[in-house]
Homo-oligomer: A and B are copies of this chain.
Amino acid sequence: MVCKACFEVGIKLGALFHQFLGVPISFENVDLIEKTIESCVKLQPYVVDVKVEVDRKTLEEKLSRLGYTTLSPEMLKVEVVVEVENVKVRGTLKWVEEMKYPYMDFEVISF
């Protein structure tokens, strides 16, 4: 069940990252975007908790002269918890500047 939970949390992180990159975003709809991504993750099997944050500082830096930009890997910070028969695993996604990479990791939090 631990393996299954790790597999499932990996799916959720890979899925949301590649689904939502490119979404038009600004300070006007950033709250809505976060809430919507969370709603999409929650629909998926085994998910018991999810928190999506778009980094406002990075968003501000990326804003175009037209006042918006598109969601980029540098902005996303995510935490997803899945539960498979009492095994809980937390998956995380965050941009690591030194690696120039959206690093995904996991931690078994109960089993």
Contacts and interface: CB of A to CB of B under 8 A. Distances in A.
Task: Please state the number of chain copies in the assembly.
Answer: 4
B66 A45 contact: yes
Contacts of A48: none
A73 B67 CA distance: 16
Chain A contact-residue range equals 35 or more
Contacts of A72: 72
27 contacts: A4-B6, A4-B106, A6-B6, A7-B9, A7-B91, A9-B10, A10-B11, A11-B104, A12-B14, A18-B22, A19-B22, A19-B23, A21-B70, A22-B22, A23-B40, A24-B43, A24-B44, A29-B36, A29-B40, A32-B35, A32-B39, A43-B67, A62-B100, A64-B101, A65-B98, A66-B101, A72-B72
Which 5 A-B pairs give the minimum distances between C-beta atoms?
A10-B10, A14-B14, A14-B15, A21-B22, A11-B14
Interface of A: 2-4, 6-19, 21-26, 28-29, 32-33, 35-36, 39-45, 62-70, 72-73, 91, 98-101, 104, 106, 108
